[in-house]
Chain A
Amino acid sequence: MNTFNYPLIIWLLPVPPLLAFALIVLLINKSKKASHWTALGGAGLSFIGAMVVFIKAIGTSALAKNPIGSSLNWLPTGNTWLKIGTAVDPLSAITLFFVAWTILMIFIYSVGYHNYGQPKGDNDHPGLPPQGAVISEHGHSHRVPSIEPMYSRFFALISLFAFAMYMLVVSDNLLTLYIGWEVMGLCSYLLIGFWYAKDSVRKAAVKAFITTRIGDVFMLLGIAGLYSITGTLNFHEIFSNPLIMKGLTETISPVFGLSWAGLIGLLVFIGTVGKSAQFPLHVWLPDAMEGPTPVSAMIHAATMVSAGVYLSLRFFPLISAGWQPGEALTPTMTVVAVIGAFTALFAASIAIAQNDIKRVLAYSTISQLGYMVAAIGIGAYTAAAFHLFTHAFFKALLFLGSGSVIHGMEHGSLHIGEHIDAQDMRNMGGLGKKMPVTFWTFVVGGLALSGFPLITAGFWSKDEILSGAFNSAHMAIFVVLAISALLTAIYTARQLTMVFLSVPRTESASHASENKTVMTVPLAVLAFFAICAGWVGIPQEFPLLGKISSGWLQGFLDSMLPFKGEAAGHSLIPLMTSLGVSLGGLLIGWLIYRRYKEANQVDPLRLGLGPVYSLLQNKYWIDEFYSLAFIRPAYWFAEKVSYEFIDKKLIDGILHGIARIGLWLGKILRFGLDLPVVNGAGDGIATGTKKSGKLFSRLQNGKVQHYMGLAVLLLVITGMIVIYLAAAF
């Protein structure tokens, strides 16, 4: 077995993408071909390494107790060292698996998405999406998509992102995890703002960066608190040391009467709220859809937002400190569960009324992440990790599919010269016949998202969460999650129907065409996982299928838990519920939208829901509320108080006062002291010497007789004085 040095491979996992980033940025960015091959090579090496490590990890017994990895001393802190290191335990292993697959697929897809091999556009500018190029063949000219002007930059940035994500996953300590976390935040900012020439894009990038930063500050507080109490940032050392855990659980912190474990868990969870776009910090994720679609798929669906949930899973021992299955939830867990469940329902309801194909998916992502967070909150650790795992595949698939749809639509609108919003689902329709590969893979992704029974991965993981909520008797959470599952199925059916079924509603849609293989192959690969990834986690209690399933995932992940097993018992009610909401929702959605045939037709839901629909479409006016409650007061404060009062009046006033006093003092010194006294003395001595010199130089006339005469005269005068004095005394 020891053919590889596994700890070394784990250390090296993040390195190839980082090297690719450096190479592209510093040396080869002039060549688009070299850039994408370098990026793909880096991602490919990391992928191979990740698979080797994953296979080793699933073959290792008691992995949770003895993670693969090593650590080294990094910073001397007084008598001890701050250690950094890498470790792969069951949670990192499955995260590594989906991260490696989705990253590689999205890298490949990006080559096609950014129109590699197409001609340069005539009016393309860096910072704007490509506008298309005119080519002439056989005597007539037509417009085709043009290559992205900042192609190399894109691959450099996603390579940097891949580095950060790998680093976060293989870290065995909070410090390097946090570094990866923040580098991802930076990449997210840069990639959302990739087409920075558009005002809305810049605003979205800044919004994403600042909103997640709010969560990060709290998370950093949690990290600092944990380090000051335990003196280490290593997960394994903290969570598997009963003494530390006992101390953290039983000492009461000064905040809200929470235990230190609960407080730190809560602070770190706020980091998750920011990164995984949970209510109330969810507002950045829908706007982040301004970025290129591969970015949305990778950063804002499969990996970075998953990292938030991954962090909460990592901190599950702290969040659930002092809790045993079957007991009442701790305050921290209650907060987590309520936020998760509320976000799941809230975002799903918004997704129903959105028309932008990517925004629907963005809200769907928020909603699904809310599912996982709620599962963590009720202690269904394995279910949350399972859903994280399956969601990454089918959501990446859906985003790439939507990118493919948009790409096809743009192709159609370029071809016939129609100017429409290629992302608006009202302009689509009937694309299933034009883009068969995209259609079928999108259907797979959509069914997985809505939890289509038995075959799709989403069904198994979602069922796991629902049964977790039901069996641990958290009925409110269960009902909320069931309703959001119903909404999920409805908006998925709505999206599928509006985009792919029925008839084309615009000329562009009827001229859309399937994309190149480089884009469809990743779709097919991810569709494979969107179905099969769920089979590893079929619970053994499940009727019929459970008999042949090994329940491998549950066994693999349960070893991470601080307590033995989850709530016992299995009931058919959650199973029936998830069957019912999934199939029912899909049917309802299809029934409502199958008659939607004109682009300017009123949305059938609007007729049914009336003002509620406007509320949903405007996202509960949360953005407007934040603008009113925080952003405008902040601007007002900055403008009126900070700038006009403090800066201009107070600080400038003091400075001007000091300057004026200085000027006045300077004048007095100049005209009172410097000019008359110092200059006067200096000049006086000089002119005096000069004048006396002139005067006496008349005596020095070179005539010896004058000298003699003067000498005699002086002698006579002196003699007379001496004689007079001698006579007088």
Chain B
Amino acid sequence: MIPLSWYLILSGLLFLIGLLAVLIRKNSIGILMGIELILNAANINLLAFWRYLYANSGDHRGQMFVIVVFVVAAAEAAVGLAMIISAYRRKNTIVANEINELKG
């Protein structure tokens, strides 16, 4: 059986890729996609720990938590995309650094 650490390393890599996308991508949609990656890295983590630690005891709360995260991710994607479209209409750009109205 594949050991738990492999899943964790995959999850970590996925998280790093997502974080990197969030921090350095110019395109807002890329940033959104990075966030999705981070969320899924978390999901992998959740499922891996559930499978190795609680699957035999009949406790299904790990799976349910992941489903909740899916819902949140879907809602977040919907809202995020809507905001990006709205920002594009107003500013004619989706580059995150150019949308800086809140500059102090």
Contacts and interface: CB of A to CB of B under 8 A. Distances in A.
Contacts of A712: 19, 23
B89 to A, nearest CB: 19
B100 interface: yes
A703 B100 contact: yes
Nearest to A693: B104
B103 interface: yes
Contacts of B22: 705, 708
Interface stretch (A79-87, A599-607, A668-676, A694-702): A694-702
A699 B97 CA distance: 14
Nearest to A699: B104
A569 interface: no
Interface string A477-490: 00000000000000
Interface string B79-104: 00000000000000000110111111
Given A712-B19, A712-B23, A705 B104 contact: no
A701 B102 CA distance: 7
Given A703-B96, A703-B97, A704-B96, A709 B102 contact: no
B63 to A, nearest CB: 28
Interface in A281-316: none
B31 interface: yes
A698 to B, nearest CB: 8
Which of A697, A702, A709 has the most C-beta atoms of chain B within 10 angstroms of its own C-beta?
A702
A702 B104 CA distance: 7
Contacts of A699: 104
Q: How large is the interface on B (under 10, 10 to 19, 20 to 34, 35 or more residues)?
A: 10 to 19
Interface string B9-42: 0000000000100111000000100000000000
A696 B104 CA distance: 9
B34 to A, nearest CB: 10
A701 B104 contact: yes
A702 B97 CA distance: 8
A703 B28 CA distance: 11
Which of B97, B99, B101 has the most C-beta atoms of chain A within 10 angstroms of its own C-beta?
B97
B100 to A, nearest CB: 3
Contacts of B103: 700-702
B102 A705 contact: no
A702 B102 contact: yes
Contacts of B101: 702
B35 to A, nearest CB: 10
Nearest to A706: B97
B65 to A, nearest CB: 22
Chain A contact surface mostly: helix
Nearest to B19: A712
Given A705-B31, A712-B19, A700 B24 contact: no
Interface string A674-716: 0000000000000000000000110111111100110010000
A705 B22 CA distance: 7
A402 B42 CA distance: 135
Contact of A708 (B23, B99, B100, B104): B23
Contacts of A700: 102-104
A697 B31 contact: no
Interface string A500-538: 000000000000000000000000000000000000000
B23 A709 contact: yes
Interface string A145-166: 0000000000000000000000
B87 to A, nearest CB: 11
Contacts of B102: 700, 702
Contacts of B23: 705, 708-709, 712
Interface string A88-112: 0000000000000000000000000
B96 A705 contact: yes
A697 to B, nearest CB: 4
Contacts of A697: 104
A709 B104 CA distance: 18
Contact of B100 (A696, A701, A709): A701
Contacts of A709: 23
Interface in B47-104: 96-97, 99-104
Contacts of A704: 31, 96, 99
A696 B103 CA distance: 11
Contacts of A701: 100, 103-104
A701 B96 CA distance: 12
A265 to B, nearest CB: 100
Given A697-B104, A700-B103, A700-B104, A705 B19 contact: no
B14 to A, nearest CB: 16
A206 to B, nearest CB: 84
A281 B26 CA distance: 117
A281 to B, nearest CB: 95
B8 to A, nearest CB: 17
A708 B96 CA distance: 12
A700 B102 CA distance: 7
B97 to A, nearest CB: 5
A597 to B, nearest CB: 120
Contacts of A708: 22-23
A704 B95 CA distance: 11
B31 A702 contact: no
Nearest to A701: B103
A705 to B, nearest CB: 6
Interface in A159-210: none
Interface of B: 19, 22-24, 31, 96-97, 99-104
Interface of A: 696-697, 699-705, 708-709, 712
8 contacts: A696-B104, A701-B100, A701-B104, A702-B100, A702-B101, A702-B102, A704-B96, A705-B22
A-B residue pairs, 5 tightest by C-beta? A700-B104, A702-B100, A702-B103, A697-B104, A702-B102
Given A704-B96, A705-B24, 17 more contacts: A697-B104, A699-B104, A700-B104, A701-B100, A701-B103, A702-B99, A702-B100, A702-B101, A702-B102, A702-B103, A704-B31, A704-B99, A705-B22, A705-B97, A708-B23, A709-B23, A712-B19
